[in-house]
């Protein structure tokens, strides 16, 4: 965990008090609704379909056991005893009362958490690889850079009123587990002779106009990170469209200017500040790194430990699926699935948050990570303790062995909660989960991402799912458009947007259609082909036939 300094803590307290005053001024009629809306958004507070919703940042996905306990307590004190993990390493509470939000923010601040810039037209929570610092394939630990950007972007005076929201993601591994190519800015860190560089990708994004980002710098030395980001944001803040919110994201600007002109404009804005006071020294990065608590790894012999573990079949199924390799011998990253039958994807009760906190304390140095697939990772678990941990996970209903499989769906809150939705998404996820209740079937299928969004805003990342499902409104009725072939980039082959399969389907046909698609894949695939590889080889036609010409539809 990044350890807050006294300054960081005071800063959060001041921010909370500032919002308390603003809320009071609003409630006393001294602040217009229009103005208060903008101020509350920048403190994470939406007014939703049924009640306010508060989105809390989990910066780059790191959360301590104590923070999990605080979140559990908040869910009891201010919400109805549960919370929802989003696809951007945030957590949402759905029922806080407006008057109580300043107190809620004060509880967060007391454990070094906040909701700053989790909404509004500003730089949002910085996201990264949930396996940062432990992944076996990692070249550069992205955490100090993520923290550097968190600090730099927090209440940045120049970039608080951008044309639209702005999302930055960073990875330091060739397998991109942070989907950087579909962010406003994506950073891919690599190491050359002990020097860190970034490939800088700009203008990716999902939503109404999905786009894979454009690389505008192949090899940015790490020391220039902040000045280069400033230049990009300055160009966007000056030139991004403000007349139409659907054309206001940076991807539209990059497209309109063209890659070369955009790059030149950034360069022109960069030259005068390059090498200036915001240049990042090696010492700064080392200092940030020192503020991260380092797990005190024991020297353990991995081979010795294997023997200790049980031969229980269910344990092995779980282990093969949910336990990931670690940089340090004898340790493992354990993936805890929050995609369980009867629970909406990403939803957790206060009891589950408490369970997770206890497990993090007992098995993973008091720390957990939140993934953009709405799951949890305990990143530092000793091999000899896996079996013990698994038994506890089983009793807490947290041992579903489905990491990356069909039932590990990404799903937005949709029509049940979100006022922008065209259709519900949670019941669709529930129906699909039901199809794969027979675990063997999904194990046989192997890795498959099914992503569901309730509207074009694409919070459920449907464009980058192998199977993407998008809620659309057809004359007041809920319909669903399917696209196939998407990839968020975690296969290591770059991100890919899915292609629309055909006409949208009604609610009662959607789960069946997904089943037909996966059956088509299973019968057409050669050897170890992934869904996307099979699709590439056989084309869209057999999948179309499977969905639109099957008896059931």
Residues contributing to the site for another protein (CB under 8 A): 7, 10-11, 14-15, 18, 22, 31, 35, 38-39, 121, 151-152, 154-163, 233-234, 237-238, 242, 268-269, 272-273, 276-278
Six-digit token string for 359: 């497990």
Phi, psi of 247 (to 5 degrees): -120, 20
Cα distances from 218 to residues 200, 400, 463, in angstroms, run 6, 40, 25
Nearer Cβ to ligand SF4 (96/454): 454
Q: Which of another protein, ligand SF4, none is residue 305 near (CB under 5 to 8 Å by kind)?
A: none
Tokens 């020294």 correspond to: 281
Q: Which of ligand SF4, another protein, none is residue 246 near (CB under 5 to 8 Å by kind)?
A: none
Q: Which of another protein, ligand SF4, none is residue 115 near (CB under 5 to 8 Å by kind)?
A: none
Q: Minimum distance between the CB of residue 68 and another protein, rounded to whole angstroms?
A: 26
Q: Which of another protein, ligand SF4, none is residue 262 near (CB under 5 to 8 Å by kind)?
A: none
Torsion of the alpha carbons at 278, 6, 147 and 291, rounded to the nearest 10? 110
Q: Which of another protein, ligand SF4, none is residue 96 near (CB under 5 to 8 Å by kind)?
A: none
Q: Minimum distance between the CB of residue 253 and another protein, rounded to whole angstroms?
A: 13
Nearer Cβ to another protein (18/48): 18
Cβ atoms within 10 Å, residue 477: 12
Q: Minimum distance between the CB of residue 458 and ligand SF4, rounded to whole angstroms?
A: 6
Nearer Cβ to another protein (6/283): 6
Cα distances from 114 to residues 14, 59, 136, 417, in angstroms, run 12, 9, 31, 22
Kindly give the residue spans of alpha helices, DSSP state H, lying in 271-418: 282-290, 302-308, 313-322, 350-363, 386-395
Nearer Cβ to another protein (123/338): 123
CA 502 from centre of chain: 28
Q: Minimum distance between the CB of residue 229 and another protein, rounded to whole angstroms?
A: 12
**3-state class of 488 per DSSP?**
coil
Where does residue 403 rank: exposed (0-12), middle (13-18), buried (19+ CB within 10 A)?
Answer: buried
Q: Which of ligand SF4, another protein, none is residue 412 near (CB under 5 to 8 Å by kind)?
A: ligand SF4
Q: Which of another protein, ligand SF4, none is residue 401 near (CB under 5 to 8 Å by kind)?
A: none
Q: Give me the residues that bind ligand SF4 (CB under 6 A), please.
A: 412-414, 418, 420-421, 453-455, 457-460
Nearer Cβ to ligand SF4 (300/420): 420
Nearer Cβ to another protein (272/494): 272
CA 124 from centre of chain: 12
Q: Which of ligand SF4, another protein, none is residue 457 near (CB under 5 to 8 Å by kind)?
A: ligand SF4
Q: Minimum distance between the CB of residue 237 and another protein, rounded to whole angstroms?
A: 4
Q: Minimum distance between the CB of residue 77 and ligand SF4, rounded to whole angstroms?
A: 25
Name residues whose C-beta falls within 8 Å of residue 230's C-beta, 6 or more positions apart in sequence.
158, 269, 270, 273, 278
Give the full edge-to-edge strand order of the sheet including 195-202. 127-128, 168-171, 185-192, 195-202, 214-221
Q: Which of ligand SF4, another protein, none is residue 274 near (CB under 5 to 8 Å by kind)?
A: none
Nearer Cβ to another protein (8/137): 8
Q: Residue 482: name the closest of 497, 461, 509, 503 by CA.
A: 503
* Strand pairing report for 450-453 and 410-411: parallel
Nearer Cβ to another protein (159/480): 159
Nearer Cβ to another protein (281/506): 281
Rounded-to-integer distance, Cα 189 and Cα 104, Å:
36
């Amino acid at each position: 965990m990044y350890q807050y300094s006294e300054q960081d803590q005071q800063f959060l307290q001041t921010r909370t008090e500032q919002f308390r005053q603003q809320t009071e001024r609003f409630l006393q009629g001294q602040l217009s609704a229009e103005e208060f809306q903008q101020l509350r958004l920048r403190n994470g507070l939406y007014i939703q379909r049924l009640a306010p919703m508060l989105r809390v940042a989990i910066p780059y996905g790191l959360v301590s056991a104590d923070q999990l306990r605080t979140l559990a307590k908040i869910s009891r004190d201010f919400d109805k005893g549960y919370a929802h993990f989003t696809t951007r390493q945030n957590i949402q509470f759905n029922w806080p009362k407006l008057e109580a939000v300043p107190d809620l923010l004060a509880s967060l601040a007391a454990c070094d958490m906040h909701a700053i810039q989790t909404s509004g037209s500003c730089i949002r929570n910085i996201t990264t690889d949930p396996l940062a610092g432990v992944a076996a394939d990692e070249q550069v630990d992205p955490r100090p850079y993520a923290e550097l950007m968190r600090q730099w972007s927090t209440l940045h005076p120049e970039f608080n009123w951008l044309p639209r929201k702005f999302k930055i993601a960073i990875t330091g591994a060739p397998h991109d587990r942070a989907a950087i190519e579909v962010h406003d800015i994506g950073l891919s860190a690599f190491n050359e002779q002990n020097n860190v560089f970034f490939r800088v990708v700009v203008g990716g994004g999902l939503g109404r106009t999905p786009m894979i980002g454009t690389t505008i710098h192949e090899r940015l030395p790490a020391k220039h990170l902040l000045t280069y980001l400033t230049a990009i944001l300055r160009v966007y803040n000056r030139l991004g469209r403000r007349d139409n919110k659907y054309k206001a994201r940076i991807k539209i600007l990059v497209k309109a200017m063209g890659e070369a002109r955009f790059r030149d404009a950034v360069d022109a804005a960069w030259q005068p500040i390059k090498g200036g006071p915001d240049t990042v020294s090696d010492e700064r990065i080392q200092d940030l790194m020192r503020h991260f608590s380092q797990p005190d790894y024991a020297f353990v012999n991995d081979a010795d430990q294997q023997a200790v573990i049980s031969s229980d079949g269910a344990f092995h199924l779980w282990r093969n699926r949910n336990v990931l390799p670690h940089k340090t011998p004898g340790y493992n990253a354990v993936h805890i699935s929050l995609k369980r039958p009867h629970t909406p994807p990403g939803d957790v009760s206060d009891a589950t948050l408490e369970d997770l906190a206890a497990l993090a304390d007992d098995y993973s140095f008091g720390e957990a990570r939140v993934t953009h697939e709405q799951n949890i990772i305990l990143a530092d678990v000793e091999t000899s303790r896996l079996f013990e941990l698994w038994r506890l996970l089983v009793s807490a209903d947290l041992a579903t062995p489905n990491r990356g499989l069909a039932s590990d769906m990404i799903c937005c809150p949709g029509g049940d909660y979100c006022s922008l939705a065209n259709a519900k998404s949670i019941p669709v996820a529930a129906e699909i989960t039901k199809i794969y209740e027979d675990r063997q079937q999904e194990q046989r299928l192997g890795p498959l991402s099914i992503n569901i969004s309730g509207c074009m805003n694409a919070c459920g990342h449907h464009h980058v799912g192998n199977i993407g499902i998008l809620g659309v409104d057809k004359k007041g009725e809920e319909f669903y458009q399917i696209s196939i072939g998407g990839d968020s980039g975690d296969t290591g082959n770059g991100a890919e947007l899915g292609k629309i399969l055909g006409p949208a389907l009604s609610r009662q046909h959607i789960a069946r259609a997904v089943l037909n698609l996966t059956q088509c894949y299973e019968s057409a695939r050669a050897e170890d082909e992934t869904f996307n590889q099979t699709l590439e080889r056989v084309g869209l036609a057999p999948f179309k036939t499977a969905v639109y010409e099957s008896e059931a539809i």
